[in-house]
Amino acid sequence: MIAEALSPATLAATAAGSVVGLVFGAIPGLTFSMALALMMPFTFGMAPVPAIAMLFAVYSGGMTGGAVSAVLLGIPGTPSSAATVFDGYQLARRGEASLALGAAVIASAFGGLFSLLVMMLLVEQVASFAIRFGPAEIFALVLFGLSTICGLAERSMLRGLIAGVLGLMVMTIGLDEIDGVPRLTFGTVQLQQGVNMLVAMIGLFAVPQVITTFLERRATLSPWPGEVTAEFPWRRLRGYWWLMLRSSTIGTIVGAIPGTGGPIAAFLAYDHARRFSARPEAYGTGELGGIVAPESANNAVMGGALIPMLSLGIPGDPATAVILGGLLIHGLQPGPLFVQSNASLVYALYLTIVVSWVIILLVQIWGIRLFVRVLRVPPHVLGVCILVLCAIGSYAIRNAVFDVYLMAIIGVLGYLLQRLRIPLAPVVLGLVLGPTLEQQYRTALILSEGSHRIFFESPFAVTFFALTAAIVGWQIWSSTRRRPRTR
């Protein structure tokens, strides 16, 4: 079975899966969840090891690919790479796109392999830890994540909070999942599905930036450095390994908790990196840590999410649900007995994950020279292409033209906010955290039959509340001290 992991068929399937995943991840609007669903039928006729290896490779390739468009175009390829845009795109604008992409892929591989190691050594421990996270604990964790708005608010805390609230508001539109009633849909079916997170992100990140590019073109300003270096400075990553390790831990744990996922992990890691950095003010202007942290975290989510899937048979997110389907099709029923009773198969699968990372690293590092050529295209021409890409990407997410209209409107509103000096990053954070925050809060209250005591009876929840209070308190204290100078 182990030998099967290195058989030509498996290697070919892994390579194909990695590349397809990368392409899907790199195109805004095409996500690895879609890639997984589309590759699924091909696995029906394959032997179990190559079939599952291909699905794993699509997952890791897709998660990594998201960073490519985040860095080069400033649009997250998948929701999990939204936090990568803040610093990745700034680095690209400074002509250091290859550095940003290189850091992203290495951090990704590190995160992916770290979580694989955790999965191999501590499956049962992590699974039994993760299962203790119920609605009350997840609510507390997400609320803690929301306190990172303070860090993303750029200059004014007030404007950051406004932005965060606007983001949270957008995500309440649609059919309420708990009570099944339509909210703010004005009787339309299209709005019932709610505002897709990625559609909103594409609009918010891409449209304001394209409008600015067009304006600069008309004012004949050239915002881009003339040349793009294609060198790959490994040395610059020195000093980031410890951050990678911490971010990977965050990603693995968040991934293992059913009902959370990559975007939340990426933002938590981003904020963690900024908070413990020697130069927090550099974040958002092209700091390498701002790429390393979210990319290692969102790839570590994969191993994390596979833990409850393999050891309990419970998928934590839509992507692992598809992989679970792939395992079931081949007569493999993950669950408490799975790892022991299929040890050689499981180890073969672990080995294929390592192989897929080797392939992804090779393809990406080789591909960087190719990718950065995109930046030689004059910005205004690239802007027109980005508009088209955003539109068809938004369409592809749910096969709905309605989403293209939605993306356009959200994008122009985003431009308006930017002009009013309301930062967009907290809006995105609101989009990411809003649905989970509300749902877990309400589910917890249903569990406790309306009593808020449920939030204070759990040591995990209380810990996160205390951390949240500490961060908010510290932020208010430091902003009152700064007040005389800036507002």
Of 132-191, binders to other proteins (CB under 8 A) are: 132-135, 155, 158, 161-162, 165-166, 168-169, 172, 174-186, 189-190
Residues 395-424 that bind other proteins (CB under 8 A): 395-396, 398-401, 404-405, 407-409, 411-412, 415, 420-421
Query: Any contact of residue 131 with other proteins (CB under 8 A)?
Result: yes
59, 338, 357, 464: which one binds other proteins (CB under 8 A): 338
The DSSP annotation for 206-229 comes to HHHHHHHHHHHHHTT---S-S---
Q: Name 183's bridge partners.
A: 174
Closest to 383 (Cα-Cα) out of 394, 375, 393: 375
Minimum CB distance to other proteins, residue 82 (Å): 20
* Alpha-carbon 155 to chain mean position: 25
The continuous run of DSSP H or E covering 151 comes out as helix 149-152
* Largest distance between two CA atoms of the chain: 69
Query: Any contact of residue 34 with other proteins (CB under 8 A)?
Result: yes
3-state secondary structure labels for all residues of 57-108: HHHHHHHHHHHHHHHHCCCCCCHHHHHHHHHHHHHHHCCCHHHHHHHHHHHH
Query: Any contact of residue 4 with other proteins (CB under 8 A)?
Result: no
3, 121, 384, 476: which one binds other proteins (CB under 8 A): 384
Minimum CB distance to other proteins, residue 226 (Å): 20
Cα(425)–Cα(283) distance, integer angstroms: 12
6, 122, 313, 479: which one binds other proteins (CB under 8 A): 313
User: Nearer to other proteins by C-beta: 110 or 205?
Assistant: 205
Query: Any contact of residue 329 with other proteins (CB under 8 A)?
Result: yes
Query: Any contact of residue 8 with other proteins (CB under 8 A)?
Result: no
Q: How far apart are the first and last CA of the chain?
A: 63
Give the interface segment with other proteins, choosing from 5-13, 22-30, 139-147, 469-477 (CB under 8 A).
22-30
Cα(356)–Cα(20) distance, integer angstroms: 12
16, 314, 428, 432: which one binds other proteins (CB under 8 A): 314
User: Nearer to other proteins by C-beta: 376 or 487?
Assistant: 487
Residues 239-268 that bind other proteins (CB under 8 A): 258-259
Structure tokens at 194: 């709610």
Give the interface segment with other proteins, choosing from 75-83, 115-123, 125-133, 361-369 (CB under 8 A).
125-133
192, 277, 463, 479: which one binds other proteins (CB under 8 A): 192
Residue type, 379: P
Cα(199)–Cα(73) distance, integer angstroms: 15
